[in-house]
Structure 1
């Protein structure tokens, strides 16, 4: 596009030691962007030379994620809320550029409580179109108001609000009518409940049940409501004879042949998604039995940090599945009592596959460091 924008900025080279203040205010402005998304400071772009690529590999001021994190950690931010930043290297035909990614967050507005090299305390800086707030000024009132509304969840849809509320189970109260129903005490129009009907005919087994001391299946329905509107319905499972309750994992698979057939089925959750938020919401570490059931359950599924990691891991598995036996050594398979009408070998195979995938995920993450 040959231009900067409301969530991206170009720099010809990395900030020198005498430019730390400029780097800090740029990061704060990007963290306080007004388009509610990740923002980017793209280093290695020469705006004055037709936006040409300037390779950064020999830049003596170059920094990585850890160095930037340490830099930000040392600054006095109000409320101790600090922007989260990472650095990604991108290889282009003309050379290497670096991108500082300032991750979107609801902790806005970010501002300092002590002055640092021309970045004033209590001034709130924002990114507006392709410009930053001047260091000696503060943003317009309505832009600051927007950032505070973002922090308090006032700009979110009901489903996004309930995701925010579920991160704080201590703020939910039991309904007077049933302990299985809870309401958010600061906005009681939001409720979550689960039902269990032992005679509804749902008595099928899943492989992860056999990791529990009591593998009997007890399935449930979880409903999240806003007033009388059902925002979401999730599957629930009562594990280990009632010692632990949680959501059922999502189901996916990988095809090695290109056909619409899952050669590698798996169960998973993604942190921040509703399913995982509810899974965390219902976990109460109130004793060894619940802790054991929780740990055994998580030991049977994949939990990804985000959707990007999920998709990258799928590619990794396809590229490395011919090595699967390397990951299969000494995998313990729980005892699975023969059940009439079930192919127990299928359960054992699915359990083994999940343990192989869990070991592959460990290697995948280690290689990403």
Structure 2
């Protein structure tokens, strides 16, 4: 973020997804703040947008530190500000504030996340920001408050919402999030599904005849027998994506297989601790959620036991930050590892059952650390 913002400042001009402000918006300029956020959320570059506060454009873009700015706002204050406004459909821009130290001063950056929920607009007028006007940003200029964006820009924003300008892989990820819109193929309802409105998108899973090994999370199920699959997503006849799948607990529950990562507690390159995980915004996690149909009984129970062995991160950056945090606290948490319950792991020829036990214990410790990490 520091490098990106510094680069934008060095350009000494505003652009289609960044704007400079000398100071924070005063109380009289709340409508300007709302208007700027909406324009940035509806930017046409398909990027996160940045309102960079503490840059004096009239003084060669020098830093005007916001340390003593009485109008300064936190992320929570901005979220509360937006929550009070009547956005169409109740869908609001996602924003947060980051502070950057630069040139012996501090600047704040309002980061407006790029999403597919465009266009953002109000149902009810707020001061000078009109209801039903769709605002955007072209080059370095916002749509005036009393006007609406040009029709071709409005069309683009609606196309973005319905994924009509997205790649097939982006579209199918969006469709998989709406699992009720998928139906089983008449030829094989168990393994092939197609989207009922866009049947050119299909997802299927077939047995993987080349994999027969074990993973530690299998032993947390009543039936620990491994049943591995290939999951494939097609657009017409084109293979868009493939990943592994697993049928757990004797077929009671099906999921995409997780990623694997590890942590080195020393200077060595090898892992001292390994773990399984998902990233929330990944297509693998979307597939994982797609296949889970809560039944309040066997499938739900199998899903719960599977997730007891998983870490779920909001992003790759969060995962890397968590790994660094683990190194600093691992020794304190490991002291009570002897109190952790472990599932029954039978003796399996040519496999070291103690390794599976250690992996299970380690992930329970990691989940406890993760709970503390998220609370920081």
State the TM-score, normalized to the length of structure 1. 0.95
CA deviation after TM superposition for structure 1 residue 258, in Å: 4.9
- Alignment partner of 1:181 out of 168, 192, 197: 192
**Match runs of 1:93-172 below 5 Å:** 93-172=103-182
Other structure's SS at 1:220 match: strand
Q: What are structure 1's unaligned runs of at least 5 residues?
A: none
Q: How many residues align?
A: 365
Q: What are structure 2's unaligned runs of at least 5 residues?
A: 1-10
Counterpart Cα distance in 1 of 2:267 and 2:141: 47
Quick check: 1:236–1:245 contact (8 Å CA) kept in 2? yes
Quick check: 2:63–2:103 contact (8 Å CA) kept in 1? no
Q: Indicate the residue corresponding to 1:239 in structure 2.
A: 248
Q: Indicate the residue corresponding to 2:44 in structure 1.
A: 34
Q: Indicate the residue corresponding to 2:291 in structure 1.
A: 282
CA deviation after TM superposition for structure 1 residue 331, in Å: 2.0
CA deviation after TM superposition for structure 1 residue 48, in Å: 1.4
Q: Indicate the residue corresponding to 1:249 in structure 2.
A: 258
**Match runs of 1:1-369 below 5 Å:** 1-179=11-189, 180-196=191-207, 200=209, 202-325=211-334, 328=337, 330-367=339-376
CA deviation after TM superposition for structure 1 residue 238, in Å: 0.6
The RMSD of aligned alpha carbons is 1.6
CA deviation after TM superposition for structure 1 residue 55, in Å: 2.1
Counterpart Cα distance in 2 of 1:328 and 1:9: 51
Quick check: 1:111–1:123 contact (8 Å CA) kept in 2? yes
Superimposed CA distance per residue, residues 226-257 of structure 1 (whole angstroms, 9 cap, x where no aligned partner): 11111111111111111100011011223344
Superimposed CA distance per residue, residues 189-233 of structure 1 (whole angstroms, 9 cap, x where no aligned partner): 000011136xx3633111001111111111111111111111111
Superimposed CA distance per residue, residues 67-107 of structure 1 (whole angstroms, 9 cap, x where no aligned partner): 11111111111222211111122233422221111111101
State the TM-score, normalized to the length of structure 2. 0.93
